Amino acid sequence: MSLFDNFDQVSWRELQGNKYTKSLDLGMLTEVGSPHIVRATLKGSSKDKGQPQIVIYDQDYVINWLIVKLIKPLSNYGLEGVTNLVEKAWAESDLSTESLATYDIELVNEEK
C-alpha cells in the first residue's frame, strides 16, 4: 500500500483557479507524468475545497506553463528574441547536455 492510495487522482486540467503554480520538473515529461499531493479545488465542485488530491502534471502542463509564464508575456519580443533569451539563460546556468544525461527518466516520445 502506497501513500498515494489514500487520495483521489486527478489531472491538473481539473483544478480551479490558476493551474500554473507548480514548478516544472523532469517527471512531468515522462509517460506517466509527475504526481503531487496538493490541496485542490476541482472544477464544478465546492465540496472538495481544500481536500488533498493527487494531481498529475504531464507534458501538456509543461507546454501550457511555458505559454502562460514565458511565451505570452514576451510575445512582442518574437520567437527569435525569446529563443535568444532562453539560449543566453541556458548558457549562464552552467547546464550542458551532458549534465542532463544524469537524469534516468524516459521522456515522452512525441512520435507516439
pLDDT average per 10 residues of sequence, the chain (112 residues): 75 92 95 91 71 93 97 96 92 68 51 44
Q: Let me know if 28 is exposed, middle or buried by CB neighbors in 10 A (0-12, 13-18, 19+).
A: buried
Phi, psi of 8 (to 5 degrees): -75, 145
pLDDT value for 73: 97
Phi, psi of 72 (to 5 degrees): -60, -45
Task: At 33, list the grid cell.
Answer: 507524468
Give the sheet arrangement for strand 8-11, strand by strand: 8-11, 51-57, 34-40
